[in-house]
Amino acid sequence: MPDNDNGKRSFSRKVKRELYRIEPGEMCCVRSRFKGLVLFGAASVTKNEIRLVSDNPDVVGCFVELSRLLGIEAEVKQSGGGKYSAVARDSVKIAQLLYDLKLLDEAGEILMRAGEIKKMCCKREFLRGAFMGAGAVSDPNKNYALEISAPSRELCGDVARLFDDLGFKLQITARKKKYVAYVKNSEVIEDILALLGACTSQMELINIKIEKEIRNDANRGANGETSNLSRTINASVDQIKAIYQIRDTVGLDALPDDLREIARLRLEHKDLSLTELGRRLNPPLTKSGVNHRLKKIMKLVK
Ligand SMILES: [Zn+2]
């Protein structure tokens, strides 16, 4: 199971901190993010009060700010055990807001469902809010898992369907008294983090994965000479991180021919020494030539 927010330095917290800093933009998106947060994160919802309890100040802050953007002041209190409770209370405005969000029907019943969300911008914002409210992602040093838990199977299905609309397949399972939409494929998790806008966390996950891969490859490929090998690998990890950063921002095609050639080769052969890389170039290049080009690449990202 992924870390929850209890760990103050958990990966989930880092992701939520990043999401908290993203401005919601258009009013449609403010509403949609608020709706996702309330459906998945609120401790209770009534016609005149929405209450959210969390030990993560970013989640509470998100609720307070969105409420304010929607014209309602939420009050925050410390509620013991390191938790905070935020309460938005207003007998007129809350009912109107819930009605506008389709969380309250004409008969005065609260509906805890996502309903139809048409615009792409709002689907994404809804998922951001839902993740803030009840999402978790594992520390990639341990394993890969991202999930959002929901109080009902229907609501869990709603979030899975929205992910599906945006191209992501999540599984659903029941756990204790909750329903959980989850994914364990690291590439899908990377893409979901990017979708949500947690790009620093996405890069961190990618980097950790690369390091793990390189270490595994190298451990498989060689025994002995451990200190030499780990030096080669550490250098290689830094080079590969720089190359990935270029690939994922401007693209490798933006590099001059000589640098692009060595960048591609480095990605293909993560565990080779510089001398061996140089031999594979056409025409071959000396170790210091290879080193010179890789240093240029590393300089580009700084
Ligand atoms: Zn929108």
Ligand 1 centre distance from Cα of residue 121 (Å): 4
Burial of 143 (0-12, 13-18, 19+ CB in 10 A): exposed
Ligand 1 centre distance from Cα of residue 125 (Å): 7
Ligand 1 centre distance from Cα of residue 65 (Å): 17
Ligand 1 centre distance from Cα of residue 193 (Å): 19
- Looking only at the bridges linking them, the beta strands covering 135-137 and 84-89 are unpaired
Q: What is the C-alpha to C-alpha distance for residues 163 and 150, in angstroms, rounded to an integer? A: 14
Q: What is the C-alpha to C-alpha distance for residues 212 and 241, in angstroms, rounded to an integer? A: 13
Backbone phi and psi for residue 172, each to the nearest 5 degrees, phi listed first: -125, 140
Ligand 1 centre distance from Cα of residue 31 (Å): 8
Q: What is the C-alpha to C-alpha distance for residues 24 and 33, in angstroms, rounded to an integer? A: 8
Q: pLDDT value at position 272?
A: 78
Task: Give 10-residue mean pLDDT values along the chain (302 residues).
Answer: 65 96 93 98 96 96 97 93 94 94 94 94 97 96 95 97 96 95 96 95 90 74 56 75 85 90 86 84 88 90 82
Q: List CB contacts of 271: < 8 A, sequence separation 6 or more.
A: 214, 217, 218, 221, 222, 232, 233, 236
Ligand 1 centre distance from Cα of residue 36 (Å): 13
Ligand 1 centre distance from Cα of residue 167 (Å): 18
Q: Are 246 and 254 in contact (CB under 8 A)?
A: yes
Give exposure, 162-186, as e/b (b: 16+ Cβ within 10 Å): bbeeeebebeeeeeeeebbbbbeeb
Residues within 5 Å of ion ligand 1, judged at the Cβ atom: 26, 28-29, 119, 121-122
Q: What is the C-alpha to C-alpha distance for residues 59 and 38, in angstroms, rounded to an integer? A: 11
Ligand 1 centre distance from Cα of residue 28 (Å): 4
Q: pLDDT value at position 173?
A: 97
- CATH fold of the domain at 11-196: Endonuclease I-creI (3.10.28)
pTM, two decimal places: 0.77
Ligand 1 centre distance from Cα of residue 34 (Å): 11
Q: pLDDT value at position 4?
A: 58
Ligand 1 centre distance from Cα of residue 25 (Å): 8
Q: List CB contacts of 102: < 8 A, sequence separation 6 or more.
A: 111, 115
The candidate with the shortest Cα–Cα distance to 206, out of 181, 259, 243, is 243
Ligand 1 centre distance from Cα of residue 206 (Å): 29
Burial of 102 (0-12, 13-18, 19+ CB in 10 A): middle
Ligand 1 centre distance from Cα of residue 259 (Å): 41
Q: List CB contacts of 53: < 8 A, sequence separation 6 or more.
A: 43, 79, 83, 84, 85, 86
Ligand 1 centre distance from Cα of residue 302 (Å): 35
Q: Are 110 and 47 in contact (CB under 8 A)?
A: yes
CATH 3.10.28.10 positions along the chain are 11-196
Ligand 1 centre distance from Cα of residue 50 (Å): 22
Neighbours of 208 (CB within 10 A): 17
Ligand 1 centre distance from Cα of residue 59 (Å): 20
Determine the straight-line distance between the first and last CA of the chain, rounded to whole angstroms. Answer: 36
Helix residue spans in 222-249 (DSSP H): 226-248
Tokens of 51: 């209450």
